[in-house]
Homo-oligomer: A and B are copies of this chain.
Amino acid sequence: QTCVVDNAIDQKISASVTRQVSTALAKAQLTCMNVKSRGRLATCPSGFKVTACSCGMACGSWDIRGEHVCHCQCAVMDWASARCCKMSI
């Protein structure tokens, strides 16, 4: 049994999926922003994730608390900045 109708439908589906997925994904991009705060903590808005932190006093030691908060570790600290990114479609 050669399922001619089935195969024809499958081919239609495959072409449509390929076209629509690539169109949709072509619009998808990484959206990023910076959030700078006084002190040693900086928090990304909801929906964004921290990708990196920058700190005052030339300090390169930081950690990320939860998914959204940059924490600058050096003893004396004047500002903290979070680089926040998300996928937007």
Contact = CB atoms under 8 A, between A and B. Distances in A.
Given A17-B21, A28-B25, A74-B58, A83 B12 contact: no
A56 B61 CA distance: 5
A85 B16 CA distance: 29
A57 B51 contact: no
Main secondary structure of the interface of A (DSSP, over half): mixed
Interface residues of A, number: 47
Contact of A24 (B6, B22, B59): B22
A9 B89 CA distance: 26
Interface of A: 6, 9-10, 12-14, 16-18, 20-22, 24-26, 28-32, 34, 36, 49-64, 67, 73-74, 81, 83, 85-87, 89
